[in-house]
Structure 1
């Protein structure tokens, strides 16, 4: 039996027209197809065929604009070279930042938690002291509906 190694890539998606505190609706399939189309443009049929087997968008968060994609080890280099050149998702202009490339989903998750903790501490600088604990619970739970209502109340 052969074991296939995967790479998990953590991304931050920044839309050009939306402010940083608004919710950006993105689907996993839209992210998948935009990356696949860009790989087709840059690396041709060989690049598309090599990544297509194990490639999937595992996680997309609308509020934090984070995403995790999975691709097989080896062909992940096609994806990492293509990500900075993806400029559109669902006819909306975006900038994609590669944050982390890891071997397991667990390590990618740990990285995203640390990253979100740093962003949370940056938010705390601009908030009233009494709302910090509640906001921390909401951000770390990643429940989008509760977090958007809380952010609207504090601003």
Structure 2
């Protein structure tokens, strides 16, 4: 299969945003959980919930992945604090889905299909984050990202 990706030094902010934000932007309130991974391209992918029901993945892609370090740090510290509190109290550690960080995200949707072991395709949704805001440990609003190039 031919690799059609551009070399990293050829990617401009405008070409990056053209590839990422193909649909209209919207504003969404999501709850992120400490289930975090990095894609092969270095994008930060965080599992979360839309309206506390629908499981989604929020993708901080391209140059915005560096800006999302504050989100990653906050979610990981919330998990560490909850785990330490459980150890101190002698109770079981919390489940990952119980720890949630509320984030306002401006971004665009894309759907992905993944085939399970029995051969069925399952749809998952990814929210490509353009800009975001959340409360840090001190309650101050933390802003990140930038609007896409037009």
- TM-score tier after normalising by the smaller chain length: under 0.3
Which of structures 1 and 2 has the larger relative contact order (alpha carbons within 8 angstroms, sep 6+)? 1
- TM-score (structure 1 length as normaliser): 0.22
